Amino acid sequence: MGPVAGGAGRPAARRGDDRGCRCDHPGGHPSASPSPSPSPSPSPSPSASKSPKVASAADGPSACPPFPAFPDENCTGWKHTGVKLKNCNGDIRKNNAVLDSCYFPQDLKIVAKNVTVKRSHVKGSVYASYMTEWDFQGLTLIDVEIEDEGNTSPDRAAIGGPNFTCIRCHVHNTGTGISMGGNVTIKDSYAHDFTYTDGAHQAAAGANGGANLTLIHNNLECARTNVSADKQGCSSALSLYDEPTIKNVLVEKNLFNTAGGYCTYGGGPNGTDIRYIDNRFGTKFHKSCGSYGPVAAWHKNNSGNVWRGNAWQGTNKPLNP
């Protein structure tokens, strides 16, 4: 079983409706199942010895059209690569393992260091083990689809924890999207369409504190798939909360849309070194991007915070919070 939204073992966050709330972390902590041990939270604050993992030339050129276009299902996940998938074991325990063209019919559990998964499909969630203290330890996902259509565990994040990289990932039909601890890079990825459960606070990507987060050229969209639900579970497309402190975050050339309250929460009163650069705010669900507006919890005078080149999608009219 993978990361869940909320639950025991995670520090409580303030709850409320989406009007200005700093809602729950969109991913939560990984559950200890199948192990009978209790489930602690991934540590949101990386050690000083770690640094954010960044895509290198070895990752190859992006298959997605460059900004001002944005990723979609045609350039993310495994399908655009043309590979034929084979069934693979989803319990990875070998350091430096490389898994290619795999279909994981259940959750993908990472117990090893520096694992690479590429051109593959995960039916469930991706999570780190309690044996590594919920740390992905340098996991890299390239051209991977993560989905849980059928809602076997609709309260879980697609992937959640520290120290991983997602390049051209296609995330959908999970309880919520990408939950970032510390030292996380998300690039050229598409996250959308989540399953509402009672009390959910969803986001396409989000973090409840942490440091060294990089989001470059992603399409982040939060809306529920089960439209018969009587509530909207999305807090935002990108939720950056400061419980505990969040710092050193680069958000550049992303597209935001949400059916929820705001398109992004910008780090709260305590976030520092948070840079929003050349992002686009869409009007797919609301003319103000979110039902209450494009951005909340942004504090421009905090140390290192930058808001530059952000605009409305389609018109390129500057957007200043």
Check residue 74 and give its pLDDT.
97
Check residue 20 and give its pLDDT.
33
Q: 192: which residues sit within 8 A by CB, 6+ positions away? A: 171, 172, 204, 219, 220, 221, 222, 223
Check residue 242 and give its pLDDT.
92
Summarised one tens digit per residue, pLDDT across range 87-139 is: 999 999 999 999 999 999 999 999 999 999 999 999 999 999 999 999 999 99
Check residue 254 and give its pLDDT.
99
DSSP string for 164-212: EEEES-EEEEESEEEEE-SSEEEES-EEEEE---TT--EEEEEEEEEEE
Check residue 152 and give its pLDDT.
62
DSSP string for 18-54: SSS-----SS--B--TTSSS--PPPPSS--TT-----
Q: 217: which residues sit within 8 A by CB, 6+ positions away? A: 62, 64, 66, 67, 70, 71, 187, 188, 252, 253, 254
SS3 assignment, position 265: strand
Percent of the chain residues past pLDDT 90, beyond the cut: 70
CA-to-CA distance for 49 and 191, rounded, in angstroms?
Answer: 30
Summarised one tens digit per residue, pLDDT across range 250-298 is: 999 999 999 999 999 999 999 999 999 999 999 999 999 999 999 999 9
Percent of the chain residues past pLDDT 70, beyond the cut: 77
Neighbours of 299 (CB within 10 A): 17
Check residue 225 and give its pLDDT.
80
Give the pair of three-digit tokens for residue 297. Answer: 């919890």
Check residue 226 and give its pLDDT.
74
pTM of the model: 0.82
Q: Indicate if the pLDDT at residue 53 is higher than 80.
A: no
Give the pair of three-digit tokens for residue 118. Answer: 């590429």
In the structure, what pLDDT confidence band is assigned to residue 72 with cuts at 50, 70 and 90?
very high
Q: What is the dihedral of CA 1, 217, 24, 92, to 10 degrees?
A: 20
* Contact call for residues 73 and 238 (beta carbons, < 8 A): no
- E-strand ranges in 48-94 read 86-87, 91-92
Check residue 61 and give its pLDDT.
53
Check residue 10 and give its pLDDT.
31
Check residue 230 and give its pLDDT.
53
Summarised one tens digit per residue, pLDDT across range 201-259 is: 799 999 999 999 999 999 999 998 876 655 567 899 999 999 889 999 999 999 999 99
Q: Indicate if the pLDDT at residue 56 is higher than 70.
A: no
CA-to-CA distance for 134 and 30, rounded, in angstroms?
Answer: 7
Q: Indicate if the pLDDT at residue 28 is higher than 80.
A: no
Check residue 71 and give its pLDDT.
98
In the structure, what pLDDT confidence band is assigned to residue 43 with cuts at 50, 70 and 90?
very low
* Contact call for residues 38 and 9 (beta carbons, < 8 A): yes
Of residues 263 and 14, more confidence is placed in 263
